Amino acid sequence: MDILTKIINYKKDEVSERKSLYPIKLLEKSTYFNTQPVSLRKYLLKTDKSGIIAEFKTKSPSKGDINPFANVADVSLKYMQAGASALSILTDRNFFGGRLEHLTTARKYNYCPILQKDFVLDEYQVIEAKSYGADAILLIAAALSKTKIRALAQLAKSLQMEVLFEIHNEQEINKVNEFIDLVGVNNRNLKTFDVNIRQSIRLSEFIPDDFLKISESGIKTTKDIIELKKYGFKGFLMGESFMSTRNPGKACKMFIQQLYQSGKNTKNEYSHEVKSLRTE
């Protein structure tokens, strides 16, 4: 059984249990359920921002613990202060060490858009994401049918949330619909968890210009971003590059500063400077 199938099977049981514990009527009473979401698309297009979607995650199925004692309030606030365009918050508990409460905490301390990163399979999860403070949700093409993607995206749109639709090959772009705002290419193979940013470059030509292009995972250097921009990418989701250091916020700040300087200085000093922040 590959990793994605294992996650989906576990997630189905987990969602079923949450439905019984926290009914939709209870979720709809949340402070955030009736709050106007912040547009991820608009923030990624801001010229005074970096295009970085800085991610908070403490572990992964492939790496194990990354930064298990990181504080979501501290890290998310420093990400925003560093110049990140948006935040991505992992909420899957079993495989990624996340918590739904991390969304609410990040929302409390930040005004920028927040993407909930999880394996959304059911309409219940869309309502849940809104009630905990998310502005956008992730829908993974490999995990959902075309019909289900449309239903989930339409529900998110009715709640004024935005949708990042994630693909891994050219065939999956056929599942896109008019309720989707952004299309992301995950450079990580969800079956093996191997990573290669050439995946984004290869698939860029298959993404219609109507959708904002996002490159996800495996981005290590500012040169990676400069190269991806040539192929029309406007957003760059980065997690492990920052979270695998003792100070993710500082690592993010160093990276964005280097990105701004890249037009003046072709040397990439970030990868050398960040070694002093590594947790290992």
Rounded to an integer, what distance in angstroms lies between the CA atom of residue 280 and that of residue 278? 6
- Total number of domains constituting the chain: 1
Residue 268 identity (one-letter amino acid)? N
Using an 8 Å Cβ cutoff, are 38 and 113 in contact?
yes
The pTM of this model reads 0.92
What is the pLDDT confidence band of residue 263, given thresholds at 50, 70 and 90? low
Active site residues per annotation:
55, 57, 117, 166, 186, 216-217
What average pLDDT score do residues 256-271 get? 68
Structure tokens at 73: 């309030």
Per-chain mean pLDDT for the chain? 92
| CATH number, residue 80 | 3.20.20.70
| CA dist 259 → 3, 32, 80, 91, 262 (Å) | 34, 34, 16, 28, 5
The pLDDT tens digits of the residues spanning 16-75 come to 999 999 999 999 999 999 999 999 999 999 988 899 999 999 998 888 999 999 999 999
Range of the domain at 11: 3-277
Average pLDDT in the 172-176 region? 97
pLDDT for 130 beyond 90: yes
C-alpha angle with apex 196: 195 to 200, nearest 5 degrees?
A: 120
Over 90: is that where the pLDDT of 1 sits?
no
For residue range 178-236, what is the model confidence (pLDDT) as tens digits? 999 999 999 987 666 778 899 999 999 999 999 999 999 999 999 999 999 999 999 99
